[in-house]
Amino acid sequence: MQNLLFYVLLNLLFSNGIAPDYGPTAYNVITSTSQGFIIINNLSIRDEIAISGINNNTAQGFCPSLNCDIIAIMHGDVCVGWSYSTEINDQIYITVNFNDQITPNISNYPYPGDSVTLNFFDTSESIMYYGIASVQVFPLNQVTIQNINIQGDGEFITENEGCPLGYDLNFDPFAGSGNCSLCDIEYFFCGCTDYDAYNYNPNATINSNTCDYAFHLEHQLSNGNNLISFPGNFENSDILNIVNNFTDYNEIINFILGQGVGMFNTSDGWSGNLINISPYSGYWLNVNSSINWNITFDRGKLEKCITYEHSSGNNLLSFKWGDGYAPTLEALGGEEFATENYNFILGQGVGLFNTNMGWTGNLNYLKEGKGYWINFKNSNFDFKWGMNNCENPPDIQSLEKETNNLPEEFNFHQSTEQAIYLIHNNDFEHTDNDILLAFNNNILVGSVYFNAEVIVLPVMGYDLTEETTGYCKIGDKPKLKLYKSSTDEIIELNIELDSFDNLKISELKLTKLKYKNGLTSKFMLKSVYPNPFNSSTNINYEILENGFVSISIINLLGEKLSEINNEYKKSGEYNLICNADDLTSGIYFLRIIFKSKLNQFTKIQKIALVK
């Protein structure tokens, strides 16, 4: 009976704990007969001294203004002591209550030698900071912590996350770490606050505990060949691991080519000598369809000021300098340095070239995650993007989209084999909408707008893919034609391009452009109307001397689809009907050939069939 009475008295005396008057009011600490102390000499939050309570000879102190900061001792998810940051002789004392095996409801309190952690409630902001310190404690003993300057959750947090905001319905003072995304309300200031994280949010003031230290990159891949890079570090850089990541998109990679290495998707599986992906290298990636490929580099991005190995001549390198874009010459170390050390830099159908006129071309910016061919004059320096300015990459997240995309009928397939022809335009009369076309036999292998003093014409070669069948092989000499936008005609030019070779840069000066077949005044195409047309259109022409006239419909490959007229005509004006019932909607061309005793003339006129 006496034992029962003693237990009841203990229950009455100790079962009702002591809790703060505000903030983490759930910290209901039951006083134990076994106690120790933690002493903090200096306590501040972001270099501001914590607001202390008044010493009233209690373990917690007193805060009549209700604005004192609160520091708590946690054993797991149980509060075993707290204080209004009350100072005694310029030191903050917090009482630690132990499991005395007598007092009811404290079985989860620490035993001698256990470790506890500290939480801090910033009353002015109503925010809890978790795991700011950790110490081993003993009864009838005191542990001194010299200095705590709180910047956020400490290094002693656990995976048990909770809402750290005292004014939110989901506020959790017993959590092991703060995560504002678990709050009842979605706050605009909630996000990753760690500058070193990939998803750092400069507008966030409260950590969402979602900081991501991996590097994420999206490749916007087009059907066919794409010149890209992988400027980050994988836990597993094996090429087959990368390929398996892509198959999650239910798409097919046909091959990956690097500089002298490759891996090919064959009927017998993957085969080749490309074993591991390098973050420093560029690669040609051939895919079956257009797709946005999101890649996660689990070991982070390629940092700035990293040195790239290179040799004299051509080097296929990855680009990663800052985030987003960078001006090309700035990325190469500045114009003066670039002029002394590089001959050119090539991207996918674009380039910038070191000429007698200075740097010229259409590759004005480099993009993060792309691959680029750089031709080095020598290898006697350590190459890094930005060179001496590598620590200060530009912050260019996007560029204005170009609106002068080539018409669909003048597009070509990007090849891994490409040459560049620099065409210097001096005084030829043209419009910016005119287009230079390069043909290998009758197959279009390159095109570019005629809109600059120096025109960069990319010409594609055969790279063993089906899409590049008929493209240039080494030694082939592409023919140059001109599309006149004002008249919708294609004109053959008296221009012989230099022989083709991969990565070959050739220069050509244009002073006058002449029609290959001369004397156009003997044949006049007066009109093709209507154009665009539905099923049929009228062709009106005049010849000033007798001769053979051949008119046919062809596609851009030069393949004859339909013959409209092929007969001897006397001089005069003629009108005929072009019927296209057997053709589908699309862009086609009229090929008109006129032959007389003294003259021969060929004209190609663009037509559009709309059904």
- CATH number of the domain encompassing residue 465: 2.60.40
Burial of residue 429 (CB within 10 Å: 0-12, 13-18, 19+) is exposed
Same domain, 593 and 567: yes
DSSP 8-class letter at 525: E
Q: What pLDDT, on a 0 to 100 scale, did the predictor assign at position 7? A: 42
Q: Give me the pLDDT at residue 199, please.
A: 83
Taking the C-alpha atoms of residue 179 and residue 163, their distance in angstroms, rounded to an integer, is 5
DSSP 576-611: EEEE-TTS-SEEEEEEEEEE-SS-EEEEEEEEEE--
pLDDT (tens digit per residue) in 400-454 = 765 568 888 899 999 999 999 999 887 666 778 899 999 999 899 999 998 888 8
My answer on whether 418 and 557 are in the same domain is no
Q: What is the pLDDT of residue 451?
A: 85
What's the distance, CA 348 to chain centroid?
16
DSSP state of 165: B
pTM, two decimal places? 0.67
Question: Could you give the C-alpha distances from 302 to 193, 310, 316, 366, 539, in angstroms and in order?
Answer: 21, 17, 16, 16, 61
Instruction: List, for residues 138-156, the tens digit of each pLDDT value.
Output: 999 999 999 999 988 899 9
DSSP 528-545: EESSSBSSEEEEEEEESS
One domain for residues 471 and 586: no
Mean pLDDT of all residues in the chain? 90
Question: Which regions of 467-529 does DSSP assign to beta strands (E)?
Answer: 479-484, 489-496, 505-510, 523-529
Please check whether residue 188 lies inside any domain of the structure: no
Q: Residue 200: inside a domain, yes or no?
A: no
Q: Which residues of the chain have pLDDT under 50?
A: 1-15, 515-519
Q: What total number of domains does the chain contain?
A: 5
In a shared domain, residues 476 and 580: no
Q: Could you tell me which residues come within 8 angstroms of residue 379 by beta carbon, excluding any fewer than 6 positions away? A: 310, 311, 312
Based on the fold, state whether residues 224 and 333 are members of the same structural domain.
Answer: no
* Same structural domain, 445 and 424: yes
Residues 57 and 94 in one domain: yes
Asked if residue 323 and residue 426 are part of one domain, the reply reads: no
If asked whether residues 277 and 324 sit together in one domain, one would say no
pLDDT, tens only, 246-299: 766 667 889 999 999 999 988 888 899 999 999 999 999 999 889 999 998 988
Q: Are residues 532 and 434 in the same domain?
A: no
The CATH number of residue 89's host domain is 2.60.40.1120
The tokens for 195 are 């500058």
> How many angstroms separate the Cα of 148 from the Cα of each of 31, 43, 47, 97, 505?
26, 5, 10, 22, 64
Could you tell me if residue 147 is inside a domain? yes
Q: Domain range holding 268?
A: 215-297
Q: What is the pLDDT of residue 210?
A: 82
Which value, in Å, is the radius of gyration of the alpha carbons in the chain? 38
